[in-house]
Structure 1
């Protein structure tokens, strides 16, 4: 759980573009005893919407996050902002769902252990027992929750209960080969990230590498996106591609794709954890540097 006080905070906001936003933010936090350590802005010229991420550092020691939020609320209301202010030192708690492919899960577990992924992994959920030894090796709780069409609602209720019990702010679908129900998607809106083993919007659904092979593609890729009720249609956070040739079989494409998937998912989770991702309708704004 993040502390109620902190010397470092991260502000994210979006609102209709209008004069004075940056000045108002800087002025308010200057009066609150903060230096701006990092700030990124973006204007979507097509929608006239403004986006901003700012890292704040107190020069007066730890401050109450609730008190700073209260002070900023007047500025936010004046400009009609959608905003959040979070403890900049906190590592978000996450729950990972996986089926029988462990490459993405292993990458996330190893990255957290090495300190390069700023999250706290609270557990792993799976509809198979395949990943039990891997989770035991990393010392991460493993929850075996088998699912059938008849038990899907009950199993998803167990997943949601684990999300809430562990205080996880994010459910990561790390090659979890089950389609979430519309109800669960709704309850986890903006709180679930999926890795799709294809360069969306092409080759949705099952066996995208085989689909790509049949079409003779020269590039394959992976896409990390927020989960919505529309299959593989959620706002995209990160993508990457690798060049391939006609000589490579579907199995070889799958092999190449595994490495891309792990890297892409890791980046997306890190950017989400560092509060670098802002929703922009069906798209995202990602301040990745």
Structure 2
């Protein structure tokens, strides 16, 4: 018998019976739970849960939704149901530095990231050849103060047209407007070339070098109107020393940025990230 895999995420006020209510309905559908994660935030009394489960091929998404409706209503849950059989679509935005873009494309090519890049958007022409080599539509939209609002509307139209599930800012060196950030909230991930909240703004690795830090890092976070202050998904650091130049810092940083962004994208695509106010709950595998 062939099966389909779904992921369900839910959050609600914590009280007894939540897990039992959901799993009982899934059992009634003949579902087999492959993975289950849960977290109780005692400070806010919010409960978060992610269940990955399989059902027979003949069980539809609509049947699953109907079966879970009583539990959702009873506990006033906020839920999302994702079909793992549907390949997620992403739009990647990039400026001149293409290391994070190239790493994402590689991880997709080898199958570690299960996604389809439906467009690459850039304010420069530098990555056009990369897009053409992968048969990916390339959109060169130069951004100025006068046309910024127009270009952002074009991006929203592109997301709608392509059915993109996620926008990835792979070192896209333009600040998104508050309106666009709000429209894409929870659906746009940025990689910041710093271990936030330290060293914001321009040339963070040079700032770190000047301060003689012993650790550098990168941060992947959801985009919000507050620049570089969105809910953090993933971070990584690497030890550095006084013997390294600022250029050495930059080189090490490029590697970290690429890895961190790819991991954050994978976590999001697998429904492993849940928003909890200004923070995230991340149900990493393993």
TM-score, normalising length: structure 1: 0.96
Hey, what does 1:280 align to over in structure 2? 276
Task: Indicate yes or no: 2:15 matched with 1:18.
Answer: yes
Q: Answer with 179-188 or 70-79: which moved more.
A: 70-79
SS in 1 for 2:92: strand
Q: Deviations over 1:88-112 (max 9, x none)?
A: 2222110000000000000001111
Hey, what does 1:219 align to over in structure 2? 215
Take 2:246 and 2:197, find their aligned partners in 1: how far apart are those partners? 20
Q: How does 1:209-248 map to 2 (within 5 A)?
A: 209-248=205-244
Hey, what does 1:31 align to over in structure 2? 28
Match of 2:142 among 142, 146, 153: 146
Take 1:97 and 1:284, find their aligned partners in 2: how far apart are those partners? 23
CA apart distance, 1:288: 0.7
Q: Deviations over 1:63-94 (max 9, x none)?
A: 22122112212201111111111112222110
Match of 2:165 among 145, 162, 169: 169
Hey, what does 1:3 align to over in structure 2? none
Hey, what does 1:198 align to over in structure 2? 194
Task: Indicate yes or no: 2:49 matched with 1:55.
Answer: no
Take 1:258 and 1:146, find their aligned partners in 2: how far apart are those partners? 24
CA apart distance, 1:117: 0.5
Take 1:106 and 1:230, find their aligned partners in 2: how far apart are those partners? 28
Hey, what does 2:155 align to over in structure 1? 159
Take 1:249 and 1:44, find their aligned partners in 2: how far apart are those partners? 43
Take 2:276 and 2:283, find their aligned partners in 1: how far apart are those partners? 13
Structure 1 residue ranges, 4+ long, deviating more than 6 angstroms after superposition: none
SS in 2 for 1:212: helix
CA apart distance, 1:44: 1.2
Take 1:169 and 1:79, find their aligned partners in 2: how far apart are those partners? 27
Is the Cα contact below 8 Å between 1:55 and 1:88 reproduced in 2? no
CA apart distance, 1:7: 2.2
SS in 2 for 1:46: coil
Task: Indicate yes or no: 2:6 matched with 1:41.
Answer: no
Is the Cα contact below 8 Å between 1:226 and 1:235 reproduced in 2? yes
Take 1:193 and 1:134, find their aligned partners in 2: how far apart are those partners? 21
SS in 2 for 1:63: coil
CA apart distance, 1:220: 0.2
Which 5+ residue runs of structure 2 have no aligned equivalent? none
Which 5+ residue runs of structure 1 have no aligned equivalent? 1-5
CA apart distance, 1:160: 1.2
Take 2:248 and 2:174, find their aligned partners in 1: how far apart are those partners? 24
CA apart distance, 1:246: 1.2
SS in 2 for 1:12: strand
SS in 1 for 2:6: strand
